[in-house]
Structure 1
Amino acid sequence: MAMTNPFQFLQQTRAEIAKVVWPGRREVLLTTVMVFIMALLAAIFFFGVDLLIRLGLEQILNMFG
């Protein structure tokens, strides 16, 4: 593979960075809120699953012990 000189590399890097479309303030806020909501829903779901497993195991252990 051919080596690119540092000046050409910097030019190509700047050209690629110029193509990036940065999100606006509103889009960042909305996606942040959605992430927090999804994290909360996942936490509630796994809490419920954990609770059901714990209750089930307690019932099984109480039958034999």
Structure 2
Amino acid sequence: MARKDMLTGKGPLSGNSRSHALNATKRKWNLNLQKVKVMDENGQLFTIKVSARTLRTLKKQNLIVE
């Protein structure tokens, strides 16, 4: 599962890159993925890839193990 947030399921967005002459070429906006260690309800520790925004939410909820 490359380039996906393992918690929210969000993936890269696609669209067009526009020049001054309005030429359109396909491009992709990738997520800012970070590896993070998270503890589940049973106290088991595992590493997942999450986006920077999801990481911010996890830190706010004190679910990150550092």
TM-score using structure 2 length: 0.26
Structure 1 or 2: larger helix share?
1
TM-score using structure 1 length: 0.26
Larger Rg belongs to: 1
Higher relative contact order (CA 8 A, sep 6+): 2
